[in-house]
């Protein structure tokens, strides 16, 4: 089967807070943008029943509602949203390719905002009951199914405790397996206070999952006391895992640099090791993973992608795209030496105007174009002939005489 091929300026992988924010910025910049999300737009934020720390919302807001607003805003700026899984990516060429089952999407820039995937316990029997067979990762999504039933929550962090309290609005009984000693939770102080005051929560201290049991669906979770090794069978109608997340970066192995835990290192511009590929949100190697920080990442990635495309177009059209011999002068207008050398550059431009094109690059605003020419410091010059750098001169001083000799020799050929 021959695959279809579609073309975009920017492809964004992941429709959580980071991906949707990047999409808003790219769409608003009039870039042809496509966003891929394998589930529903909103990502992990939709798993949260109440978000209380996102600026601008003095009252708690459901994660699903907040993300619907993000999605609506992205669509208003013309972003195409495809609810489909990515099968493969090829990122190391100038034209990047994001492949689904039926279609290859070519893009000039890619933003990886794939988020995280729930961490599993690794206990016996777990795989048989994932998702719709008794083990869940989203209280907001599945709480209603467990109305008047008994559920077990695994974990003691913010997500675990907050979602356990949300489940008490539906379930008859909510039990919480905590690996720590009695009274110790990893959640914030407000969540702890509310949890200990909720008489529908029952804590099982010093425990971790030993085995999941059942026939068609999960019916029992066997916990193990980590101090006494006692096995504690807990009859349940369902189990919710909130023990953290892993970055969803398997697809990028061998292409993007990642740390030992699978997170993608970036600089402050969200740039990865591949030009034109950016990372934002929970896939990044960073300190804090919240909706607010994902939004910041997405905004930076969107703006940086826009600048990358503009600089690429300028580089190809103005520097590499002319048949004329091209002199590129990289300068910093606040530097006295750079201003002095500008007079020499203007003289060369006037003298060889019929055969020489002069392009001035302001490194005070951005160093990216200069870096494509192998220049990292102003002042510097590069001579381009047939899309190749045939001469370069720079720090500590530009050899104007050498530049003119090279120009004269090339023009006389």
Distance CA 68, CA 23 (A): 14
Residue for token pair 């919710």: 240
Question: How far apart, in whole angstroms, are the C-alpha atoms of residue 394 and residue 174?
Answer: 69
The token duo for 14 is: 């992941």
Residues, the chain: 413
Measured distance CA(50)–CA(48) in Å, rounded: 6
Would you say 280 and 270 are in contact if contact means Cβ atoms under 8 Å apart?
A: yes
For the chain, give percent helix, strand, coil, nearest 5.
30, 30, 40
In the sheet that holds 325-331, the strands lie side by side as: 356-362, 325-331, 380-385, 388-393
Q: Which residues contact 109 (CB under 8 A, 6 or more apart)?
A: 9, 10, 11, 96, 276, 277, 278, 305, 308, 309
CB of 21 closer than 8 Å to CB of 302? yes
Instruction: List, in order, residues 6 or more apart from 405 with CB less than 8 Å away.
Output: none
- Strands of 297-379, DSSP E: 325-331, 356-362
CA 259 to CA 250: how far, in whole Å?
Answer: 12
By annotation, the residues acting in catalysis are 138, 141-142
Q: What b/e sequence results for 286-311 when a residue is b if at least 16 CB atoms lie within 10 Å of its CB, and e otherwise?
A: beebebebbbbbbbbbbbbbbebbee
Pair 223, 177: CB distance under 8 Å: yes
CB proximity list for 354: less than 8 A, separation 6 or greater: none
Q: How many whole angstroms separate alpha carbon 353 and alpha carbon 356?
A: 5
């Amino acid at each position: 089967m021959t695959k279809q091929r579609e073309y975009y300026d920017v492809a964004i992988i992941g429709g959580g807070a980071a991906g949707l924010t990047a999409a808003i910025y790219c769409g608003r910049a009039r870039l042809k943008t496509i966003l891929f999300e394998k589930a529903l737009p909103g990502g992990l934020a939709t798993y949260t029943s109440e978000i209380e720390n996102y600026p601008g919302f003095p009252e708690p807001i459901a994660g699903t509602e907040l993300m619907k607003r993000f999605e609506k805003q992205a669509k208003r700026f013309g972003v195409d949203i495809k609810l489909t899984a990515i099968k493969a990516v090829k990122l190391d060429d100038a034209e990047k390719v994001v492949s689904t089952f039926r279609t290859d999407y070519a893009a000039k820039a890619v933003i990886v905002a794939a988020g995280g995937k729930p961490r599993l316990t690794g206990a016996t029997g777990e795989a048989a009951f994932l998702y719709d067979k008794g083990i869940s990762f989203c209280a907001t999504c599945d709480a209603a199914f467990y109305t008047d039933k008994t559920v077990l929550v695994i974990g003691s962090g913010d997500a675990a405790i907050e979602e356990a309290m949300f489940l008490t609005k539906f379930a008859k009984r909510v039990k919480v397996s905590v690996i720590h000693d009695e009274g110790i939770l990893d959640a914030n102080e407000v969540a702890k206070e509310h949890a200990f005051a909720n008489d529908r929560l029952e804590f099982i201290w010093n425990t971790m999952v030993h085995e999941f049991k059942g026939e068609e669906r999960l019916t029992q979770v066997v916990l193990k006391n980590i101090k006494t090794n006692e096995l504690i069978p807990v009859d349940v109608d369902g189990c919710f895992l909130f023990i953290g997340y892993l970055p969803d970066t398997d697809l990028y192995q061998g292409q993007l640099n990642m740390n030992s835990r699978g997170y993608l290192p970036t600089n402050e511009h969200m740039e990865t090791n591949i030009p034109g590929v950016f990372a934002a949100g929970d896939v990044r190697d960073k300190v804090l993973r919240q909706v607010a920080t994902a939004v910041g990442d997405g905004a930076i990635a969107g703006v940086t992608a826009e600048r990358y495309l503009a600089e690429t177009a300028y580089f190809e059209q103005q520097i590499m795209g002319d048949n004329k011999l091209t002199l590129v002068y990289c300068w910093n207008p606040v530097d006295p030496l750079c201003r002095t050398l500008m007079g020499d550059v203007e003289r060369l431009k006037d003298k060889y105007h019929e055969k020489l094109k002069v392009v001035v690059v302001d490194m005070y605003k951005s160093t990216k174009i200069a870096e494509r020419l192998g220049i990292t410091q102003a002042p510097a010059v590069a001579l381009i002939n047939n899309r190749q750098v045939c001469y370069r001169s720079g720090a500590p001083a530009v050899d104007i005489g050498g530049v003119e000799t090279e120009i004269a020799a090339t023009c006389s050929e």
